[in-house]
């Protein structure tokens, strides 16, 4: 009797999964991707994720009971979705080193955030590259590109303002005072 149960035919399940994967895969590449412009908008995680992917991942994580589905997806759901998008490929392409190529036009918030956070706290190229190999972070070269772009943008602003001030200060807003932690 146990042998009969072990010999379950998964071909019907595989066909259903293949159809679901095709739907989600098409939605991923049809959906507008996130473009980093120096800051993360409040809704950047959910806004740039296709609803079909969010629904599928939410069902996998939370079960199929519609009553139990949260109105907004959990952080775990958004994280898994962004990781899937970051690692999804239209076609197989490898770099010279054998690493997968990640598209800059569909670069979700999470891999950028992980890479920038790791670099700001550790300055470790090795750690960032390991996270990149695991599909969790953008590459070290991309982090350097973003940091160079941010630095150039800040320098341009300082030249335009005629003074060096914290980047969080906004033009046209009256400020009584501003403090910064300038430890030597």
Please state the pTM of the whole predicted model: 0.74
In tens, the pLDDT along 106-123 reads 789 999 999 999 999 999
- How confident is the model over 143-163, as a mean pLDDT? 88
Q: What is the pLDDT of residue 44?
A: 83
Neighbouring residues of 91: CB distance < 8 A, sequence distance ≥ 6: none
Instruction: Note whether 79 and 51 are within 8 A (CB).
Output: no
> Which one, of 73, 23, 76, 10, lies nearest residue 43 by Cα?
73
Greater confidence, 160 or 39? 160
Greater confidence, 180 or 118? 118
Secondary structure (H, E, C), 70-99 = CCCCCHHHHHHHHHHHHHCCCCCCECCCCC
Greater confidence, 43 or 180? 43
- Name beta bridge partners: 94: 100
Question: CA of 22: how far to CAs of 19, 50, 87, 111, 121, in Å?
Answer: 5, 13, 15, 24, 39
- How confident is the model over 12-31, as a mean pLDDT? 93
Local structure of 17: helix, strand or coil: helix
CA distance 51 to 56: 8
In tens, the pLDDT along 75-93 reads 999 999 999 999 998 876 5
pLDDT above 50 for 1: no
> Which one, of 126, 130, 132, lies nearest residue 101 by Cα?
132
Neighbouring residues of 20: CB distance < 8 A, sequence distance ≥ 6: 56
In tens, the pLDDT along 125-146 reads 999 999 999 999 999 999 999 9
């Amino acid at each position: 009797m146990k042998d009969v149960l072990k010999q379950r035919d998964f071909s019907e399940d595989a066909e259903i999964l293949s159809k679901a994967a095709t739907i989600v895969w098409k939605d991923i590449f049809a959906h507008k991707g996130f473009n980093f412009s120096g800051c993360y908008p409040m809704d950047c995680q959910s806004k740039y994720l296709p609803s079909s992917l969010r629904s599928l991942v939410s069902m996998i994580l939370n079960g199929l009971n519609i009553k139990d589905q949260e109105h907004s997806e959990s952080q775990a759901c958004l994280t898994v979705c962004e990781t899937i998008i970051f690692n999804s490929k239209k076609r197989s392409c490898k770099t010279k080193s054998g690493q997968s190529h990640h598209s800059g036009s569909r670069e979700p918030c999470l891999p950028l955030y992980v890479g920038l956070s790791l670099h700001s706290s550790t300055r470790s190229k090795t750690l960032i590259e390991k996270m990149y190999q695991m599909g969790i972070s953008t590459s070290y070269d991309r982090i350097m590109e973003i940091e160079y772009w941010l630095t150039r943008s800040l320098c341009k602003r300082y030249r335009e303002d005629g003074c060096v001030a914290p980047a969080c200060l906004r033009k046209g807003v009256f400020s009584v005072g501003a403090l910064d932690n300038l430890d030597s």
